[in-house]
Structure 1
Amino acid sequence: MSTAATGRPGPDQLREWAPDVALGGAVLVLGMVEASRTKPFWEDWWDLALVVLGIAVAVALSRRAPGLALGLVWVVCLLQLLTGTPVLLAQLAIAAVAFGGARWGSTAVVWLSGLSIPLGAVVVVLFAASEVYDVIDDVVDYNSVIDSAYRLGSTWQVAAAVLGMFVLGSPWLAGLALRFVSRAEQSRVSQVAAEEDAARAVRMSEQAREIARLREEQARMARDVHDVVGHSLAVILAQAESAQYIDDADPERLKQTMATIATSARTSLQDVRQVLTTTQAPDAAVRSGGLDSLVDGVRASGHEVVSTVVGQPQPLPPELETVAYRVLQEMLTNAIKHGRRDTPVSVERHWEGELRIEVRNVVQAAVADDVTQPIRPVPAGAARAEEQPVREVPGQGLDGMRRRLAAVGGRLDVRRRDEADVQTFTATAWVPVRGGA
């Protein structure tokens, strides 16, 4: 059960208060012994007992409640002055209150405890001096020793004031020094913790960037492998299917087809090796063949391709050339996989401000609902073919093309059109044209 529920202090609180209570108890015992020697028990010495008790309680509170301890000391001292109670040596324990006010008190308590030291020393000296003059007045003729008493009293008061300020000021200064040392240590610990947090944040940021880089590299590699292998397998599959219809009386054509299959497989293997080993240089296949090599490869597989180039072709920087090559490669792969073999594949390249690549083919009925982008309005004056958005199917192909184009500021549009008795699948990519190498 918790301390708040029972209303009683817990074991931890008792252990924390034990040193303070022990110190206050020691002051109480010593003070009572001194009070008993100052006045006999049978005389009226309750004033001494109250002074000792108040000082003992203030000492016990000096660490946990320094402001309350300082106020209690002042109350005890004022009552002592009003009642004429003699000063006790046990009151030197007020030094512990001065230390606690400077060490653990608030800013106001620190200032009040510091100002209380000279003020308290002066009050105590004046009080003690009044008792000395009373003793002199009772024992000797006041008129005969007045001059020497004043001189002696003045010197004694100054010495007593300096001694009292030293007795109370030394603990106060020690507490103030420990206060600054503690704050400096806390500041150092906080600075070290902040530096550790900053270093940890930097490490986490670097790890996150490294993870993102590795994931991006993995995605890039997956897209490249998909483009290379997918296109090569589609071409090889088309060539193998066409080989089934070659007349047995034409072995040369069969050999040519098999050679084309072997060349496609060898090229694909080389491209895959390059993808797995090269991370910086542009694709060698792009540099050696270009976009025309893709069109020629599809034609060699037995598909009819109608290629059109509008405008003046421009040299592209390596990164844009790679994007254009891989995008056209994926478009032709989809056309081979999903298009009808008895209809030609239309490939248009427009060099008008930016490179626009458009691949259109007739779609087989089974795959007419593959993927497409939301339909844009058909430009004015164009043939009004019925365009339909269809469900999206996740895959590496379209996603890879979109990512490649988006990385260089391009865009992709994929749609299906209903034209007469057939359905066409049209993929259009826009590649920005910057100054070529």
Structure 2
Amino acid sequence: MMVMHRIYAWFRRHRLAVDFTLVAILWLLFAATTLLGSEAAGSFVIATLLVLPLAWRRARPTTAALVIAAVAVVQWALAIQPGPADVAVVLAVYAVAAYGARWASIGSLFLALLGAVMLVTRFYTDLTMETVANLPSTAFLVVMVWVLVLFSWTLGDLTRTRRLREQALEGRTHRLEVEQQQERALAASDERSHIAREMHDIVAHSLSVIITQADGGRYAAAADPSVATATLQTIAETGRASLQEMRRLLGVLRGGEEASTRPLPGLADIDDLLLGFRAAGLELSFEQSGKPRRPLPAGAELTAYRVIQEGLTNVLKHVGPCATAGTSLQWVARGLQIDVLDDGRGAAAYPPAGGMGGNGIRGMAERIRLYDGTLTAKPAPGGGFRISAFIPYTEA
């Protein structure tokens, strides 16, 4: 089967060479036959002119059929006896039906049927007083030629239908491949954005706490060396927690069977998050009101956790010393309202595009939009900076 498939593929790639080879073989056979007749010269020329256009029967089917039809008319007008080369007419009908335009296919069929009548009445019927007696045999010959022409045209039309179907399937396959490539590219881009958000949230938070603790501990240790021990303990705990989250994230990316499908924290871990910021020296308050009508999806809880983490990390990095922050979670009828407010320097404390080159606030906005929520980040009216996010319930 593989050998036949390769042979068929080779024939499709070298169609013109195959056609010229077949025409050369037919021409040698028909030319040798015509040289045996009484009208050798005329028959040889007609046979040559009938056979040669078949080399372009697939590349230029309509042109080849018109040339063959013209030669056949000349043969009829000069009364040159038909020979084996006249089979080129039937082959031309097949070629036009298979590879030509629809109008050319129908036109070649009618011309061939008319040519059959002209052929029989010209060369195989005696137009004398006995014509009426020869009508049955004449009609029989005409019908026989018509059957041959119709068979050739039908076979060509079926080939045309199959070819168009194959082209449609190839086009559809190509479109599907393009769509799959685009979907893979979009999925890869979305995954890269997701990984970038996770990496930013983990690394930015952890490094901010570590840097703050290291700077504060360095100055405080000069006056009280015991502070260095507590500072190093906070740095170590923060580093271990970040390393654990990184390992969980990488475990999910590797796709292992034992990897957790929810490797990152949620609302239940808010208290531990706040303890880490308080240990870093940030004075903050936390309020929670209302009761959830139903639990949020795990991804929405992770989004809420990241919003609080990013907001407090920005306070720690940008607002400066002696600033305080407040965080509140309020369960309302439609979902969860999250607010992070500081009393620092307002808009002057934040770069124009958000923290970390814009990845911080932009990442929060992208997370919130995934759950049809809203996010606002702007200076508060009484001073400081406020980040407000709302995550609605996912209604069935």
- TM-score strictly above 0.5: yes
Q: Does 2:339 correspond to 1:358? A: yes
Identify which of 270, 277, 299 aligns with 1:298.
277
Structure 1 match to 2:58: none
User: Residues 370 and 189 of structure 1: is their aligned pair in 2 closer, same or farther, counting only changes over 3 Å?
Assistant: same
User: 5+ residue gaps in structure 2?
Assistant: 1-19, 54-63, 97-103, 254-259
Q: Which has the larger radius of gyration?
A: 1
Q: What per-residue deviation string (whole Å, max 9, x for no partner) do you get for residues 29-75 of structure 1?
A: 967679xxxxxxxxxxxxxx9xx9xx99996998434565676677x
Q: Which of residues 156, 172, 187 in structure 1 aligns to 2:161?
A: 187
Matched, 1:223 2:178: no
* Residues 308-338 of structure 1: per-residue CA shift (max 9 Å, x gap): 3333356433221111001111111111100
Letter in 2 for 1:92: P
Q: Is the 1:58–1:70 contact (alpha carbons within 8 Å) kept by the matching residues of 2? A: no
Mapping 1:38-437, distance limit 5 Å: 63-65=65-67, 68=70, 76=77, 90-92=80-82, 99=90, 102-103=93-94, 104=96, 106-115=105-114, 117-118=116-117, 121=120, 127-130=126-129, 157=134, 161=138, 166=141, 173-246=147-220, 250-279=224-253, 281-286=261-266, 289-312=268-291, 315-353=295-333, 354-364=335-345, 367-368=348-349, 370-371=351-352, 394-417=357-380, 419=382, 423-434=383-394
Q: 1:405 to 1:159 in 2, by over 3 A?
A: closer
Deviations 1:402-436 (A, max 9, x none): 111111111211112464xxx5222111112359x
- The alpha carbon displacement at 1:356 in A equals 1.5
Against the structure 1 CA distance between its residues 191 and 30, is the aligned structure 2 distance closer, same or farther, given a 3 Å change threshold?
same
Superposition deviation, residue 222 in structure 1: 1.7
| Structure-2 change in CA distance of 1:401 and 1:308 (3 Å) | same
State how far apart, in whole Å, the 1-side matches of 2:252 and 2:48 are: 81
Q: Distance in 2 between matches of 1:250 and 1:100?
A: 105
- Cα distance in 2 for residues equivalent to 1:108 and 1:316: 71
Q: Are the aligned partners of 1:235 and 1:264 in contact in 2 as well (CA < 8 Å)?
A: yes
Contact 2:355 2:361 (C-alpha < 8 Å) held by counterparts = no
Quote the Cα distance in structure 1 between the aligned partners of 2:40 and 2:200.
Answer: 97
Q: Distance in 1 between the 2:266 and 2:67 partners?
A: 81
- Deviation readout 1:74-111 (Å, 9 max, x if unpaired): 7x49xxxxxxxxxx6x3435956864774456424423
Q: Displacement, 1:187?
A: 3.1
- For residue 27 of structure 1, report the CA deviation from its aligned partner: 7.8
Task: Say whether the 8 Å CA contact 2:116–2:145 is kept in structure 1.
Answer: no
The answer to whether the 8 A contact 1:101-1:172 is kept is no
Distance 1:200 1:33 in 2: 54
How far apart are 1:113 and its partner, in Å? 3.7
The change in CA–CA distance for 1:400 and 1:256 in structure 2 (over 3 A counts) is same
Structure 2 residue identity aligned to 1:360: L
Q: In 2, distance between residues paired with 1:362 and 1:238?
A: 19
1:380 maps to none
In the TM superposition, residue 294 of structure 1 has moved relative to its aligned partner by 2.0
User: Which string of whole-angstrom CA distances, capped at 9 and with x for unpartnered residues, describes residues 90-148 of structure 1?
Assistant: 34359568647744564244235425545764677775434xxxxxxxxxxxxxxxxxx
Local SS of the residue matching 1:244: helix
Residues 1:121 and 1:110: Cα distance change in structure 2 (over 3 Å): same
**Aligned-pair Cα RMSD in Å:** 4.4
Q: Cα–Cα, structure 1 residues 286 and 206, in superposed 2: closer, same or farther, change >3 Å? A: same
Distance 2:358 2:202 in 1: 15
Aligned counterparts of 1:367 and 1:283: Cα–Cα separation in 2: 36
- Give the letter aligned to residue 284 of structure 2: V
Asked if the contact 1:371/1:393 (under 8 Å) is kept, the reply is: no
* Matched residue, 1:9: none
CA drift at 1:182: 3.2
Q: What is the aligned residue count?
A: 346
On the 8 A contact 2:264/2:302 being kept in 1, the answer is no
CA distance in 1 between counterparts of 2:237 and 2:350 reads 33
Judge conservation of contact 1:346–1:361 (CA < 8 Å) in 2: yes
What SS does structure 2 have at the residue aligned with 1:216? helix
Q: Is the CA contact 2:284–2:324 (under 8 Å) kept in the aligned structure 1?
A: yes
Q: Which amino acid aligns with 2:273?
A: L
Alpha carbons of structure 1 residues 403 and 97: separation in structure 2 relative to 1, 3 Å: closer
The answer (yes or no) to whether the contact 2:342–2:384 under 8 Å persists in 1 is yes
- Residues 159 and 28 of structure 1: is their aligned pair in 2 closer, same or farther, counting only changes over 3 Å? farther
What letter corresponds to residue 82 of structure 2 in structure 1? Answer: L
Task: Name the CA shift for 1:63/1:205 in 2 (closer, same or farther; >3 Å).
Answer: closer
TM-aligned CA distance change 1:170 to 1:259, over 3 Å: same
The answer to whether the 8 A contact 1:414-1:427 is kept is yes
SS in 2 for 1:297: helix
**Is the 8 Å Cα contact of residues 291 and 325 (structure 1) preserved in structure 2?**
yes
| Closer, same or farther: CA 335–173 of 1 in aligned 2, 3 Å | same
